[in-house]
């Protein structure tokens, strides 16, 4: 085989890999198969270790085509609506000091630009990997603040009553 033919075959193979490895919308459909709502995220290293072992993202990492296997990891983050937390296997992202959610419509992790955790009482750093979110648990507690402020109320002339 001539060098030009080998080069052409190599380029075609690389294009094929590029189109099959990278999702056109930037999301990762395999993450949707692994999403699970949970009441709260692990808050200790031991609980995190148990959750990681139970979720088994390492097994999915070897069959997904969204990112490198080492970057496809366990996450416990806010859901799309910031009303609860979810466990999900997803490609990690680098946060620029913002809390993180899993966007179910986009099949990916996203920064919450209105939730700048650098300013929290226990601040997060200006840059951190999404897989390190256990260190910044206040981000995942945001849903508790939101759910208490969203309780519908009925006001009469004299009293206010919660509907739930």
pLDDT (tens digit per residue) in 60-82: 999 999 999 999 999 999 999 99
pLDDT (tens digit per residue) in 1-24: 565 554 454 443 443 333 333 344
CA torsion 90-67-28-104 (nearest 10°) is: 30
Which pTM was predicted? 0.72
DSSP string, 7-44: HHHHHHHHHHHHHHHS-TTS--HHHHHT-EEESS---S
């Amino acid at each position: 085989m001539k060098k030009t033919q080998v080069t052409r075959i190599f380029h075609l193979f690389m294009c094929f890999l590029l189109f099959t490895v990278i999702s056109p919308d930037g999301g990762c459909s395999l993450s949707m198969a692994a999403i699970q709502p949970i009441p709260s995220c692990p808050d200790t290293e031991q609980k995190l270790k148990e959750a990681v072992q139970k979720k088994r993202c390492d097994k999915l990492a070897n069959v997904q085509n969204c990112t490198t296997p080492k970057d496809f990891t366990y996450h416990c983050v806010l859901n799309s609506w910031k009303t609860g937390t979810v466990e999900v296997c997803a490609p990690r992202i680098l946060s620029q000091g913002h809390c993180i959610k899993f966007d179910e419509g986009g099949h990916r992790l996203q920064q919450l630009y209105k939730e700048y955790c650098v300013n929290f009482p226990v601040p997060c750093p200006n840059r951190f990997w999404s897989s390190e979110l256990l260190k910044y648990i206040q981000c995942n507690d945001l849903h508790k603040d939101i759910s208490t402020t969203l309780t519908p109320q009925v006001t009469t002339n004299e009293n206010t009553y919660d509907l739930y």
